[in-house]
Amino acid sequence: MEHNLQHTISLLARTPAALNALLRDLPEALTLQNEGENTWSAFDVVAHLIHGERTDWMPRARTILQFGETQAFGPFNRLGHIRESQGKSLAQLLDEFARLRSESLSELRTLNLQPDDLARRGWHPALGAVTLSELLATWAAHDLTHLHQISRIMAHQYRQAVGPWSAYLGVLQCAGHSAP
C-alpha cells in the first residue's frame, strides 16, 4: 500500500523530542523499572531505538535500493540494545537517539525517493517480499509501538497505587506487546 512519505518523515522527526520531553530527568523509579522478568524498561526501549537506527531502518533501505530482492536483510538483534546502553545514562541515550535519527532523516531526504523507488522490493528473511514503502511506514509505526510500550511500562508502576481505578485505565489492560 502507498503511504505519504512526507507525513512519515514528520512523525519520525518528532519521536526523539517527544521521548526527551517525557523521559529526561524523570525519576529512575519510572524509567528503569520494567513490567517483570524478561521485559524492558523505558531505558531499554530507548537503547533499542538507537540500535534500530544503527542497524535496521536506513541500512535496510539501502539494501533494497542496491540489491532489490536478491539480498535478504541482515538479521536484527533484538538484544542489541544491551550493548548500546552499557555504562550510559538515559540522558546520554536520548542525546544519541536524537543525533542518529537526525542523521538517518538527512540521508533519507537526500535520497529524494520517487514513487518508483518506494515500490521497489526487498527480501525480509521471515516475511519474504516487502517494499521500501512498507519498510519506511514500519519505521514510523515502530516508533509508535515503542511509545505505546513506554506508556504501558510506566503505567505498570502505578498498578497498585491507583486502587479501584485500575478497572477504568485501558493501558493497564493492554496485551498489545510486540512479537519477538
Q: Which residues bind its own copies (CB under 8 A)?
A: 1-4, 6-7, 10-11, 14-15, 17-23, 25-27, 29-30, 124, 127-128, 130-131, 133-135, 137-138, 140-142, 144-145, 147-149, 151-152, 154-155, 158, 160-165, 167-179
Nearer to its own copies, 77 or 173 (CB): 173
Nearer to its own copies, 87 or 116 (CB): 116
Helix, strand, coil tally for the chain in percent (to 5): 65, 5, 30
Q: Helix, strand or coil for residue 92?
A: helix
List b or e across 140-170, with b for residues whose CB sees 16 or more CB atoms inside 10 angstroms. bebbeebbbbbebbbbbeeeeeeeeeeeeee
Cβ atoms of 5 and 113 closer than 8 Å: yes
The DSSP call for residue 159 is T
Tell me how far, at minimum, the Cβ of 100 lies from its own copies, in Å.
17
Nearer to its own copies, 79 or 127 (CB): 127
Nearer to its own copies, 31 or 87 (CB): 31
Tell me how far, at minimum, the Cβ of 39 lies from its own copies, in Å.
12
